[in-house]
Structure 1
Amino acid sequence: MSTNRPPPIATWRWLHLTSAFVLFLCATLQEDRPGHVMEVYMNFQLPSSLVDWSRIGVEKTCLCKMMCQSLPKCSAVTIQPDSDIFGSFICHFANQSVSEALLLPMENEITLIKPQRRDDVACDDGFFLIENSGCFHIDQTARTWNDASLFCQSRGASLFLPSMPGELHVADEYMEEVGAVDWWVDATGRRWGDDRIIDVEDWYPNKPNGAMTECVVMKRKSAHQYLLDDRNCNDQNWSLCRK
């Protein structure tokens, strides 16, 4: 989104860091339960053709997010530093369907997209719904990777495999709640089960460091954060099934 006059570079950096920090606080302090979580895209904006209305003079990025969450028609919001009011932001809202592919690169702006609701989905017994991602089951029995895969198949599911960018951490919160430390996912060597190469940034620090034939777990790095680690396929861990 264009503004009349950009502030000095130092001010831009301050606003960017402040908006990112406040946005982090929003995600931490707000009740970001399924149905309230929004996908975050740093340094991207909505194209002007998708913006239905805007609000200026917003003091916190949280307010932009909360306004979109509270409006059923709102599908996404871009948060832009206000060049005329130091420490203030402008919210640009979209009411029509928005996907990541429609966003435009723009430094110092943040776009939040509300996942589409899936209220019509009913999960089988033992499975729980993660909105816009499907039904999941946490298997708390320690199994080898192969046995874990067979177990998921016996439930009409498969080991967890992220199907889109940003979905790797969709279940982290749930695994944290049940005390999971390591859990098998549908990946071996350096590739996902659908033959996609695993992104470097998704690996635990200094990983992978084993054989190309090793299997992969999500390993707890910190509270509510898991990253990928390569393990011997005969190790026994929990697993996450998805269907």
Structure 2
Amino acid sequence: MAFRNTNTEYVNVRRVPSTPISNSDKNLLRVVLLSFGLLCIIQATLNVTLRIFLDESDTNALELNEICKNFTDQKRSDFDQYFRDGWVYFNTSLYYISPAKRNWQDSRGFCLQRGADLIVINSREEQEFIRRFHRFMWIGLRNTTARTWIWVDGTPLTRRYWGPGEPNMGNDEGCVESRFFEVQDTWNDLNCNDQNFWVCERAMAR
């Protein structure tokens, strides 16, 4: 009931009793908290597992951070876009592993349109890096009209990782793929019109 006079208005305020938390609500809260804790554990486990399988060393991470310190904001934005598009970082370069197949020339065209080119393999570490992806993939090595093997950047072939019996130069095999067999040396010469996956490489210039 409210009492009113000419000067002041008074209102009776009733106290609303608090509703006790039921046992079922308590159990639900426990389940939610437990689930959240399990998710945190799973996330931590996944992070460790991915680091092991992808061999992402702390050294590489620090090296990438050091390089990026010297990038302009525009360059950082550009490389962020590469990462969003599925490119991966290894030893100062960005790489794209194709999800589809094309012939050698079309594969190279894909890379060139993105400011890259087919991979030029300069070291054993780089050769081992692309073997991890377990695919037959075009690399940037081809045979010229002078029957000389040359990389897409114009450099001659010096380090060689040919598979057993390769190159055999059969059936107009003027382009090169890298395979993923158990042996370390996996290159195979192949007809350039064959369909294959491919690897793009983009050097991280400052």
TM-score bucket (shorter structure): 0.5 to 0.7
Q: Identity across aligned pairs (percent)?
A: 22
Residue 121 of structure 2: aligned partner:
162
Indicate which of 128, 136, 140 corresponds to 2:95: 136
**Once the 2 structures are TM-superposed, how far is the Cα of residue 139 of structure 1 from its aligned partner?**
1.3
Q: How many aligned residue pairs are there? A: 131
CA distance in 2, matches of 1:137, 1:158: 10
Contact 2:131–2:179 (Cα < 8 Å) also in 1: no
Residue 118 of structure 1: aligned partner:
64
Q: Which structure has the highest strand share of the two?
A: 1
Contact 2:97–2:200 (Cα < 8 Å) also in 1: yes
Unmatched runs of 5 consecutive residues or more in structure 1? 1-29, 37-68, 70-113
Residue 166 of structure 2: aligned partner:
207
Residue 26 of structure 2: aligned partner:
none
**Once the 2 structures are TM-superposed, how far is the Cα of residue 34 of structure 1 from its aligned partner?**
4.1
Unmatched runs of 5 consecutive residues or more in structure 2? 1-50, 69-75, 144-148
Tell me the C-alpha RMSD between the 2 structures.
2.8
CA distance in 2, matches of 1:162, 1:132: 12
Change (3 A) 1:192 1:172: same
Indicate which of 140, 157, 160 corresponds to 1:197: 157
Change (3 A) 1:150 1:163: same
Residue 31 of structure 1: aligned partner:
52
Change (3 A) 1:136 1:145: same
CA distance in 1, matches of 2:64, 2:108: 26
Match of 2:194, SS?
Answer: coil
Contact 1:219–1:229 (Cα < 8 Å) also in 2: yes
Residue 196 of structure 2: aligned partner:
237
CA distance in 1, matches of 2:125, 2:104: 24
CA distance in 1, matches of 2:119, 2:92: 11
- Identify which of structures 1 and 2 has the higher relative contact order when contacts are C-alpha pairs closer than 8 Å and 6+ apart: 2
Give, as a single letter, the amino acid of the residue that structure 2 aligns with 1:228: W
Residue 182 of structure 2: aligned partner:
222
Change (3 A) 1:157 1:130: same
CA distance in 2, matches of 1:33, 1:165: 17
Structure with greater Cα Rg: 2
Contact 1:34–1:130 (Cα < 8 Å) also in 2: no
Give, as a single letter, the amino acid of the residue that structure 2 aligns with 1:31: I
